[in-house]
Amino acid sequence: MEATMTRDTSPEIQHPAPVFIDLPNDLGVHSAPTVDIWYLSCQLTSGQRHFNTQTLVVTNVAHPVSTQVYLVESGGQSVRHAVSNFAETEGALDAGRLAIKLPSVTLKGDESRMELQAVAEDARLNLLLTRNAPILYANGTGLFPYHGGGTYQLSMVDLTASGTLTLEGESLDVTGSCWFDRQWAANAEAFATGGSFLWMGLSLDNGDNLSLWDQVAPDGRAYCWATVARPDGTHLITPVNLDAAPGGTDSRGPWKLILAGIGIELTVTQEAIHDAGGFYSGACTVRGQSPTAVISGYGFVDISGR
């Protein structure tokens, strides 16, 4: 699937509402025991070939630093992956800026542009990423309640990607679109769900980008809501009705989403990027309807405990 789309070019708001996130400082690593997550998923194309990738860097959970890199060709069965753990963080992660330098992942840049180098088995990815849409702050402020406390989250959405993918000794020119998430919480307990979650990051061709959380708390209460960032930077928070679409399942889709707050209905299908250790990730295709137009889009889904 070609993920690049034509976007609404409405001017971005010059003086947005205050948030709990300080950029570029919060792109860098925080002091322990803070758990930091850097997440980048991409849908890439080279000629008639399509690839889905995911890169994760996590601190202070099972190890001081962990990296995960996954790459799968659309329609294929083989997933190239590399999972690494490191005991030392000094020199590998910078505070106050985005500068990660690890054996399998190098990621640097700012809130406008980033560069990624990632390795998984015989695959080597080199990408330049450029942001095209306003930053999405979860809950409108970048901070929302989670099962063990609060979690911070911002998303750089609808990133244009270009670069090379070296695969089986062949260098392929690739282009496409990516979603970058930066998330952190005070400690590992603040991320301990005790329940389950489904998260989606979706970019729509009407210019809306949305981050959706479907959570089941340890006490059994369910929450499903989305933060919608509009082309001008306006943020809307809306409850979501999330159900399996005809022929689908709650855990793997396809899903039907009704966002009553903005009058949009969507059907989301997905193709697996990886499925291991109780955690599932997929690359999404979106079709739907607004009050005035047919909508299409792309995105990513992460599922834990389902």
Instruction: Please check whether residue 10 lies inside any domain of the structure.
Output: no
Boundary-marking domain end, from 131, 159, 191: 191
Domain housing 228: 193-306
Between vectors from CA 28 to CA 278 and to CA 166, what angle results, nearest 5°?
A: 65
pTM of the entire structure?
0.92
Domain shared by 168 and 242, yes or no: no
The whole-number pLDDT of residue 222 equals 84
Instruction: Please check whether residue 303 lies inside any domain of the structure.
Output: yes
Boundary-marking domain end, from 170, 191, 212: 191
Domain shared by 186 and 287, yes or no: no
Domain shared by 123 and 255, yes or no: no
Domain shared by 184 and 207, yes or no: no
CB 140 within 8 A of CB 154: no
The whole-number pLDDT of residue 194 equals 57
Cα dist from 22 to 152, 236, 242, 267, 285, whole Å: 11, 21, 32, 35, 32
Instruction: Please check whether residue 29 lies inside any domain of the structure.
Output: yes
The whole-number pLDDT of residue 116 equals 98
Instruction: Please check whether residue 92 lies inside any domain of the structure.
Output: yes
The whole-number pLDDT of residue 191 equals 72
The whole-number pLDDT of residue 195 equals 66
Domain shared by 186 and 197, yes or no: no
**Domain CATH code at residue 198:** 2.40.370.10
Boundary-marking domain end, from 159, 191, 223: 191
The whole-number pLDDT of residue 277 equals 78
Residue 284's Cβ-side half-sphere holds a number of Cα atoms within 13 Å equal to: 28
pLDDT by residue for the chain (306 residues), tens only, comes to 444 454 444 556 654 678 999 999 999 999 888 999 999 999 999 999 999 999 999 998 878 899 999 999 988 767 888 888 887 666 689 999 999 999 999 999 999 999 999 999 999 999 999 999 999 999 999 999 886 678 999 999 999 999 999 998 999 999 999 999 999 998 887 776 556 899 999 999 999 999 999 987 767 778 899 999 999 999 999 999 999 999 988 889 899 999 988 899 999 999 999 998 788 999 999 999 998 999 999 999 999 887
Domain shared by 222 and 166, yes or no: no
Instruction: Please check whether residue 7 lies inside any domain of the structure.
Output: no
Instruction: Please check whether residue 9 lies inside any domain of the structure.
Output: no
Domain shared by 211 and 294, yes or no: yes
Domain shared by 138 and 278, yes or no: no
State CA 94 to chain mean position distance: 21
Domain shared by 183 and 217, yes or no: no
DSSP assignment, residue 93?
B
The whole-number pLDDT of residue 78 equals 76
Instruction: Please check whether residue 265 lies inside any domain of the structure.
Output: yes
pLDDT for 61-98, tens place per residue?
878 899 999 999 988 767 888 888 887 666 689 999 99
Q: Which residue from 299, 142, 152 is spatially nearest to 235, judged by alpha carbons?
A: 142
Structural domain total, the chain: 2
Domain shared by 62 and 43, yes or no: yes
Between vectors from CA 173 to CA 168 and to CA 159, what angle results, nearest 5°?
A: 120
Domain shared by 28 and 92, yes or no: yes
Q: What is the mean pLDDT of the chain?
A: 90
- Count the neighbouring beta carbons within 10 Å of the beta carbon of residue 50: 21
Domain shared by 34 and 169, yes or no: yes
